[in-house]
Amino acid sequence: MLFTLTQVLTQADAERAPSYFPWAWVALSLLAAGAVAWLIAAALGFARARVFGASARWFALSAVCLLVYHVQWFVFAVYGVGERNPANVLNMAAFFNLFVALGGLCAVIGFVRLTNPEP
């Protein structure tokens, strides 16, 4: 007997969304807003680096590092969905805090340059 798609769907059990699903849009929108904010901070930092000196350039590099951190979450999600080997996904996840640490280092150098300007 030949069934149509609507007949099959009406006879199938209704799928339930996971309990975390309603909050996923909140996490994704906050991640996207953070990426946009760091992009704006990096653009403004590099634009003002000529006027304010090397410290602004280091703060802009810090913003770029945190922008890459936010983009890395999206890449991780896309890569993690298609990858069958969990070890590869965990190897990629091992480097998440690398860009946060680099951003912190750039910010520290920026503060040092800000408090101790070169003549």
Asked whether 70 and 31 are in contact (CB, 8 A), the reply is yes
Distances (CA, A) of 67 to 40, 71, 110: 10, 6, 17
Task: Give whichever of 18-27, 48-57, 58-67, 86-95 has the largest mean pLDDT.
Answer: 58-67
Model confidence at 46, pLDDT cuts 50, 70, 90, reads very high
Does 102 map to a domain? yes
Model pLDDT for residues 80-104, shown as the tens digit of each residue: 878 888 888 888 888 888 999 999 9
pLDDT at 100: 92
User: Hunting for tokens 């699903």 — which residue is that?
Assistant: 21
Per the structure, the count of domains in the chain is 1
Does 66 map to a domain? yes
Does 14 map to a domain? no
pLDDT at residue 40 above 80?
yes
Q: Would the pTM of this model clear 0.75, i.e. be above it?
A: no
Does 40 map to a domain? no
Distances (CA, A) of 119 to 24, 27, 58, 75: 51, 45, 18, 43
Model confidence at 45, pLDDT cuts 50, 70, 90, reads very high
Structural domain containing residue 118: 50-119
pLDDT at 65: 95
d(CA 24, CA 21): 5
Does 80 map to a domain? yes
